[in-house]
Amino acid sequence: MKRDSNSPAERSRKAKAAKLARWKAAHPSVSRGLLYRMDPTVELGAGMGRMTDLDRALWNMTHQWWLMSSRPLRRVKKSDLDAVVAQARTDIPWLAELPAQACKAVAKRYWQTWERCWSGVGGAPNFHSRLKDRPSFDIPQARDLNITRVSKKFATVQVPKVGKVTIRYHRPIPVGARVTGARVTNDHGRWTLALRVELPKPELRSPVESRPVVGFDRGVVIPLAGSDGTEFNHPDWLTPGEKRHLRYLERQSARERHARWDRSDGRGKGRIGANERKTYDAIASVQAKAARRRKDWHHQTSRKIADGYSVAVFEALRIKNMTKSAAGSVKAPGTNVAAKSGLNRVILNEGWGTLLDLTRYKMADNGGAVVTVPAPFTSLTCHTCGSTTPGQRKNQALLVCGDTDCGWTGNADFNAACNILMRAVSGGLVPTLSAGIVDDARSRYELEERTDAMPPVGTEAPLKLDGPGKRENRLGQRTVAA
């Protein structure tokens, strides 16, 4: 149906939209999520679990309907989707337990997933699994929440159709923030309330001009090395005791799994029992703890970068390619499979993509910017003279320039960070650069004796990001399965 652009309804709609746009222009704001840990009682936890089940069921039904009705031509409109979801809620009695607003939110989220997919940002929506996806549900209307502080550390939040749930109020909602909704998530047994808020556009924390420009190399030995000599390190995400416990659980699950296969006596793999399931849950809960610590480090590090620098240059790593399995095919089996899979684990474990995303928005808030440059050879080239002599990268930690006139010797990650910064400067990506920064950092860095994490010269470190092997492979002189 074509809209009549002169009808009174249409004119009023346009006027409202224009008014909203004017208000938004006068009150610049940013959307943020505030996370609070929830402490539900057993009954309330079960009630929220029920809500997540309903949310997932509705999502899966919506997806099933989509697959049946819109495969060939993708003619379905947002309004069709809304109507179908609303109809489902009236037709299926048990679905009515999910509040109408939460149902609408499912349709909205489903449509948004498609829109992201069509614009090339994300993947197509898929069925949600009870075990593989984090269970969650929406509370779209902020006025339902009724957040009430009950003590210094705790507050309560009204979860529709479930009840009043205690949350740990570890930080107040900022002054001037407008809560627009919330999402409740169960992260392997830990309930989290994510408040969606609109904050007034934050003030710059310091003038942009007073902050230097920096390049960062993301490495395995040093997670983040800066071209000014700074390093961002973090401890292992799990303590030795937790690692021991995880290993114990993994062995236990393997035992239970093999026992199940033996019991089934060659007829399929059998049904996972309650005890085996418990072991898997315990493993997931330890891993979820590690993930939360990693995210915390990402938030703290990106905050420091955004506060300390005006422009941060990163290498544009294509993590997907880097972490491709080395196993190859049956015809052309890969070499060094175990080492590569170990490296894959290390790369994915760092979550570099997340760090970049977080730094990006914090930088933007603070008047700065994040720039990425192509990565090849930044870790093999001498940043002083530009020499690319093969073998000058002695190991993961050390680079000794192969050019006899230059002979620069120093930390390979620092060298790569300088190269990354200079690549952005020569590419015109960094508008202002005080020329002193790089030189100053270099002289400071060379004075320090770095004996830690540095194997004897001439020995090969087991993990290499851009070793000579990769380079030869790039030039087609040696076949290494990528």
Minimum distance of Zn ion from residue 236's CB (angstroms): 35
In whole angstroms, how close is the CB of 401 to Zn ion at the nearest point? Answer: 3
Beta sheet of 213-217, edge-to-edge order: 231-232, 224-226, 213-217, 311-316, 369-374
Query: How far is 411 from 449, CA to CA, in rounded Å?
Result: 10
Considering beta carbons, is residue 222 or 401 the nearer one to Zn ion? 401
Which residue, 48 or 382, has its beta carbon nearer to Zn ion? 382
Measured from the CB atom, is 125 or 410 closer to Zn ion? 410
Adjacent-strand bridge partners of 137: 184
Q: How far is the CB of 352 from Zn ion (least distance, A)?
A: 28
Q: Which two tokens stand for residue 29?
A: 């704001």
Nearest distance from C-beta of residue 394 to Zn ion, angstroms: 14
Query: What does the DSSP assignment read for 191-242?
Result: EEEEEEEEEEPPPPSS-GGGSPEEEEE--SSSSEEETTS-EE----SS-HHH
Q: Which is nearer to Zn ion, 6 or 404 (CB)?
A: 404
Q: Is 6 exposed, middle or buried (0-12, 13-18, 19+ CB in 10 A)?
A: exposed
User: Which tokens in the block code for residue 129?
Assistant: 């699994």
Nearer to Zn ion, 326 or 438 (CB): 438
> Is 38 in contact with 166 (CB distance < 8 Å)?
yes
**Minimum CB distance to Zn ion smaller for 53 or for 403:** 403
CA angle 79, 81, 82 (to 5 degrees): 65
Which helix or strand (DSSP H or E) is residue 299 part of? helix 274-308
Question: What backbone torsions phi and psi does residue 290 show, to the nearest 5 degrees?
Answer: -60, -40
Q: How far is the CB of 252 from Zn ion (least distance, A)?
A: 53
Nearer to Zn ion, 182 or 416 (CB): 416
The binding site for Zn ion (CB under 5 A) comprises: 382, 384-385, 387, 401, 403, 406, 408
- As measured in angstroms, the least distance from the Cβ of 391 to Zn ion is 13
Report in angstroms how near the CB of residue 385 gets to Zn ion at its nearest.
Answer: 3
The residue assigned the tokens 């690692």 is 243
